[in-house]
């Protein structure tokens, strides 16, 4: 086990992630935009992007199982090379095959790769750094992801607007090739696990083992997963659906200005995630998971000024400023919470289960997101003219979840102390 944070292998993982995630963010921004520009149909755009999300949910558990049974380095290398090949095939077929079909398949492959890729990255951290550095390592990976989400669409948009989609494709393909070549030189400790020869029986057994671990051996991990699902369902989804809806449809900002302001608000959200990742790294030694509920309480409290402003003020610009500031703060606290939870899972989970357990958590969390989006789509439609009611509802439920979180981890650490004393 490496006793320092930036060992050679972890540094190569970080650099590979910078290049790979930047290419991923850029291509996932450019291709849907290209589809929208070519078809002019928001319905087709919505259907294709929704379908693209399905493989990520389906392949994440499989990615976790594979991450525990195959060298994680080999998984990252293969998937980056495979992504580069998919981009090459798309660029060769884009003028020869039905564009909608080709884009739908390509985006589904990209999202599926992301679902299978991420468990390997997260599961590699405990194998590359000491437990005392888990928080810092996770904050670095999270910061890179937020930075890529912020800069990838910006630079991709500039390149796409100036030169079209083809140069974007070539740049992204080079990014994935560079990442794959760099990852070849990473050495991740790996212990081969026994299999019974039947792949489906192995998958079923591995999945059952990870569920049993979450439910029985470490119920705090399972309860933490439910907390993340609750936040995705009631808070994250409100921001994802509510922000564009209120900025473009509710607040009186003017059509042209509203679109620009919404783009700026998206940048603010990404900047909040970036700031949260940095804060998690800086304050890693002072953050304890038993106080994670305080972070969620801070997120919930920030929702109430948004609802109060919508209820009390008519000024669209004033509401916009309050909304973006509150969402920026929410992103900071929620990102620190995410880093804490991932570090907690990595600490409590054995090496032979880490990939599977992380994959189950990511999968369940991803399932909550589209359900929340649908919920708030209906609620905002029903409460048209009284949007503040929906926002305040999200704040109240999130506050209840944060209080429950405090009790979960308080009881968990109390139990651990009692066991230690008995021994």
User: Is the pLDDT confidence value at 196 over 80?
Assistant: no
Contacts of 371 (CB under 8 A, 6+ apart): 233, 237
Read off the pLDDT band of 258 (50, 70, 90): confident
pLDDT score, position 416: 44
Answer yes or no: are the C-beta atoms of 51 and 108 closer than 8 Å. Answer: yes
What pLDDT sits at residue 37? 72
pLDDT, tens digit (0-9, with 9 covering 90-100), for 105-137:
888 888 888 877 877 787 788 878 887 777 788
**Confidence tier at 368 by pLDDT (50, 70, 90):** confident
* Residue 162 burial by Cβ neighbours in a 10 Å radius (0-12, 13-18, 19+): exposed
Minimum mean pLDDT range among 18-22, 63-67, 367-371: 63-67
Model pLDDT, residue 419: 33
Secondary element (H or E) of residue 397: helix 387-422
What is the reported pLDDT for 127? 79
Comparing 254-263, 356-365, 398-407, the range with the smallest average pLDDT is 254-263
What pLDDT score was predicted for residue 81?
Answer: 94
Domains of the chain, CATH where assigned: 1-184 (1.20.1250.20), 207-423 (1.20.1250.20)
pLDDT of residue 420: 32
421 vs 423: CA distance, rounded Å? 5
pLDDT digits (tens, 9 = 90+) for 210-257: 788 877 777 777 888 888 888 888 998 888 878 878 887 788 887 667
| Percentage, residues of the chain above pLDDT 70 | 86
* Cα 261–Cα 267–Cα 269 angle in degrees, nearest 5: 105
Give me the chain's average pLDDT, please.
80
Q: In angstroms, rounded to a whole number, what is the distance separating the alpha carbons of residues 266 and 274?
A: 13
- Give the pLDDT confidence of 374-393 residue by residue, as tens digits: 788 888 888 888 999 999 99
**Alpha carbon distances (Å) from 169 to 102, 175, 182, 249:** 14, 10, 20, 34
Angle at 399 between CA 394 and CA 405, to 5 degrees: 125
User: What is the torsion angle, in degrees rounded to the nearest 10, for the CA atoms of residue 263, residue 392, residue 328 and residue 343?
Assistant: -120
Contact 224, 344 (CB under 8 A): yes
Q: Which of 147-151, 167-171, 400-404 bottoms out in mean pLDDT, i.e. has the lowest?
A: 147-151
What pLDDT does 29 receive?
75
Residue 222: name the closest of 230, 214, 233 by CA: 214
State the pTM of this model: 0.69
Q: Would the pLDDT of 302 be above 90?
A: yes
- pLDDT single digits (tens) 314-327: 888 999 999 999 99
413 pLDDT higher than 70: no
Q: Give the tokens for residue 419.
A: 């066991």
Q: Which range, of 11-20, 27-36, 243-252, averages the lowest pLDDT?
A: 27-36
Is the separation of the CB atoms in 213 and 349 below 8 Å? yes
The mean per-residue pLDDT over the stretch 134-153 comes to: 78
Q: What is the pLDDT of residue 221?
A: 79
Structure tokens at 109: 């492959």
Residue 194's pLDDT is 57
Please list, in sequence order, all residues whose beta carbon lies within 8 angstroms of the beta carbon of residue 242, skipping any fewer than 6 positions away. Answer: 376, 380, 387, 390, 391, 394
Model confidence at 411, pLDDT cuts 50, 70, 90, reads low
d(CA 174, CA 324): 35
CA-wise closest residue to 108 among 153, 52, 163:
52
Q: What is the rounded CA–CA span in Å between residue 63 and residue 53?
A: 15
CB-based contacts of 299, cutoff 8 Å, min separation 6: 231, 235, 330, 333, 334, 337, 398, 402
How much is the pLDDT for 145? 77
Secondary structure of 227-255 as H, E, C letters: HHHHHHHHHHHHHHHHHHHHHHHHCCCCH
CA distances from 408 to 203, 236, 358, 394 (A): 30, 21, 19, 21
């Amino acid at each position: 086990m490496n006793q320092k944070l930036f060992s050679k292998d972890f540094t190569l993982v970080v650099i590979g992630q910078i290049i790979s995630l930047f290419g991923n963010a850029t291509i996932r921004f450019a291709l849907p935009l290209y589809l929208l520009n070519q078809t002019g149909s928001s319905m087709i755009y919505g259907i294709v992007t929704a379908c693209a999300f399905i493989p990520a949910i389906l392949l994440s558990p499989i990615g976790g199982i594979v991450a525990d049974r195959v060298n994680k380095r080999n998984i990252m290398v293969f998937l980056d090379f495979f992504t580069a090949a998919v981009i090459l095939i798309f660029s060769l077929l884009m003028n020869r095959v039905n564009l909608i079909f080709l884009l739908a398949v390509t985006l589904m492959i990209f999202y599926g790769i992301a679902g299978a890729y991420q468990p390997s990255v997260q599961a590699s951290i405990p194998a590359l750094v000491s437990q005392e550095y888990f928080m810092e390592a996770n904050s670095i990976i999270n910061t890179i992801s937020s930075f890529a989400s912020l800069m990838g669409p910006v630079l991709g948009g500039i390149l796409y607007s100036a030169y079209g989609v083809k140069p974007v494709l070539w740049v992204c393909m080079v990014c994935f090739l560079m990442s794959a070549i760099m990852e070849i030189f990473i050495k991740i400790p790996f212990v081969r696990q026994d299999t019974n020869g039947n792949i489906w029986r192995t998958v079923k057994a591995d999945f059952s083992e990870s569920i049993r671990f979450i439910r029985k051996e470490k119920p705090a991990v399972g309860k933490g997963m439910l907390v993340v699902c609750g936040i995705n369902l009631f808070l994250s989804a409100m921001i994802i659906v509510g922000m564009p809806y209120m900025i473009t449809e509710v607040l009186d900002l003017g059509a042209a200005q509203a679109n620009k302001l919404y783009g700026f608000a998206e940048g603010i959200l990404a900047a909040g995630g970036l700031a949260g990742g940095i804060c998690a790294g800086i304050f890693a030694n002072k953050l304890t998971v038993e106080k994670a509920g305080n972070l969620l309480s801070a997120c919930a409290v920030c929702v109430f000024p948004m609802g109060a402003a919508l209820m009390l003020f008519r000024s669209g610009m004033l509401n916009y400023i309050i909304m973006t500031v509150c969402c920026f703060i929410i992103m900071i606290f929620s990102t620190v919470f995410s880093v804490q939870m991932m570090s907690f899972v990595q600490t409590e989970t054995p090496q032979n289960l880490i990939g599977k357990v992380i994959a189950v958590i990511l999968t369940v969390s991803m399932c909550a997101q589209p359900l929340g989006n649908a919920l708030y789509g209906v609620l905002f439609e029903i409460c048209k003219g009284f949007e503040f009611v929906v926002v305040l509802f999200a704040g109240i439920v999130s506050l209840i979840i944060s209080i429950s979180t405090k009790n979960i981890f308080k009881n968990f650490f109390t139990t651990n102390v009692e066991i230690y004393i008995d021994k």
